[in-house]
Amino acid sequence: MTQAPPQPRDPLAWTAGLCAAFVALALVRLQIPSAPYFDEVHYLPAARHLLALGDYVNREHPLLGKELIALGIALFGDAPLGWRLVPLAAGALALFAAMRALWFATLSRFATLAYGVLLVTGFQLFVNARIAMLDIFFIAFLALAYWQCAAAMREPETGRCRLAVAGVALGLSMAAKWNAVPLAVVPGLAFLVLRWRAGRRRLLLSRRGAPVPGITLIEAALWLGVIPLAIYAASFAPAWYFAQGAIGSPDGVANLVALHEQMVSMQESVIQSHPYQSTWPQWVLNTRAIWYLYEATDGAQRGILLVGNPLTMLLGLSALLWCLFRALLAKDRAASAVVILYAVALGFWIVADKPIQFYYHYFLPSMFLLAALALALDALWQSGRRWLALAPLAGSVVMFAYFYPIMTAAPLEGPRAFLAWTWLEGWK
């Protein structure tokens, strides 16, 4: 008798538990500082104007992220909890969806749970989930879209529904922040390439072959192309109703196309240098940090530092090279996807016409970097070298615990306390 194929157990309950732990850790001192900090000073006024349909401000970014911040204010009040609870919920969604995406890509319990631990303790997700900024929203919806795409490939019988959800999520991601655009076009292009490689003679109408049998290329174009653009456009509905600066008003712009021309111009006009600006090599090597907060506030000296986990950001680079070799030599699809997505996410910032860039732009590439590390650790686990697979996870947790006070605005001993965490000159 032939041996039954392995049936790995879905770590759904463990995934949910890890997300609950993430939320519990992030809730600590979420209301501190009690005043807006870092870029909250831009997005909170924009959210208030959205609620009142007053002045159309902060036009350089799409509306959805600010609409979600406004939703939090409407539900929980114009106070720190109201500002930051919805971003925290988006952070939990990003974590859950990213883990589910890796599960469907690999069917490996260890890789999935290792990835969750690496994301929770990787600093970027944690810090950005605790502040009312836009990045956490586009990351959350993008992770949701990739989860649904991976699940559609693994379970083609649910493919149509999942691709529809993915299309909506891709539109919401772009509507939160334009940083999502390079990764939002990848699922549609990947469907085209994989169906082409399947060798179907009726390329546009064939329902056979990868990546999702039963779905034609034309239908995929609807779910992954037309629907995202429609959702993105719909997110601008309030732009017609502001009291000042609305689309079509004398002090606004003529139409949605004119608004986007204005948005592009505003994005490219930011050329004034900033103390925390950085370049992509500094992101990759983790040599330049951002202090979201460092001042005496709420009765004590406090700080919030955005930097990558010093251990996993460097281990991830070697894991990325390992994934590249796996992709080239073993045709490992999961490793190939991680390498391509990291290259696209980082490559966008290498060529982008945006002279002033910041470390939080590495948020998305770092998620693919940690996915590469999870795959490498899973290979060690499967080979029987389990202590070697667990050691980096334990080290990542230790690093997270050490930096936890400076990521959650804990009371510090004094103005020079930051030296305990600024190991490199670029972190000061």
In tens, the pLDDT along 111-130 reads: 999 999 999 999 999 999 99
* 103: phi then psi, degrees, rounded to nearest 5: -60, -50
pLDDT band at 232; cut points 50, 70, 90: very high
Q: DSSP 3-state helix, strand, coil percentages of the chain (rounded to 5)?
A: 65, 5, 30
Q: What pLDDT is attached to residue 264?
A: 87
**Separation CA 358–CA 71 (nearest Å):** 27
pLDDT tens for each residue of 152-161: 999 999 999 9
- φ/ψ region of 357 (left if φ > 0, alpha if ψ in -120 to 50, else beta) reads beta
Structure tokens at 235: 């997110």
Taking residues 178-201, report their average pLDDT: 89
Closest listed residue to residue 42, CA positions, set 150, 154, 178, 133: 133
pLDDT tens for each residue of 251-300: 889 999 999 999 888 887 766 677 888 999 999 999 999 999 999 999 99
Amino acid code (one letter) for 338: V
How many other C-beta atoms are found inside a 10 Å radius of the C-beta of residue 238?
18
Closest listed residue to residue 305, CA positions, set 131, 179, 176: 131
pLDDT band at 97; cut points 50, 70, 90: very high
6, pLDDT greater than 60: yes
pLDDT band at 197; cut points 50, 70, 90: confident
pLDDT band at 403; cut points 50, 70, 90: very high
Please state whether beta strands 290-297 and 300-306 pair in parallel, antiparallel, or not at all (unpaired): antiparallel
Structure tokens at 118: 């690496």
Closest listed residue to residue 142, CA positions, set 125, 167, 117: 167
How many other C-beta atoms are found inside a 10 Å radius of the C-beta of residue 91?
28
425, pLDDT greater than 70: yes
Cα→Cα distances 288→17, 112, 276, 423, Å: 33, 29, 8, 11
Taking residues 354-367, report their average pLDDT: 91
228, pLDDT greater than 70: yes
Structure tokens at 29: 């001192």
Q: What pLDDT is attached to residue 5?
A: 55
354, pLDDT greater than 80: no
Q: What pLDDT is attached to residue 270?
A: 67
Taking residues 221-235, report their average pLDDT: 97
Q: What pLDDT is attached to residue 101?
A: 98
413, pLDDT greater than 80: yes
Q: What's the whole-number average pLDDT of the chain?
A: 94
Taking residues 292-313, report their average pLDDT: 96
pLDDT band at 2; cut points 50, 70, 90: low
Q: What pLDDT is attached to residue 410?
A: 97
Of 217 and 272, the one with more pLDDT: 217
Q: What pLDDT is attached to residue 268?
A: 75
- In this prediction, what percent of the chain has a pLDDT beyond 90? 85
84, pLDDT greater than 80: yes
pLDDT tens for each residue of 19-72: 999 999 999 999 999 999 999 999 999 999 999 999 999 999 999 999 999 999
Q: What pLDDT is attached to residue 355?
A: 75
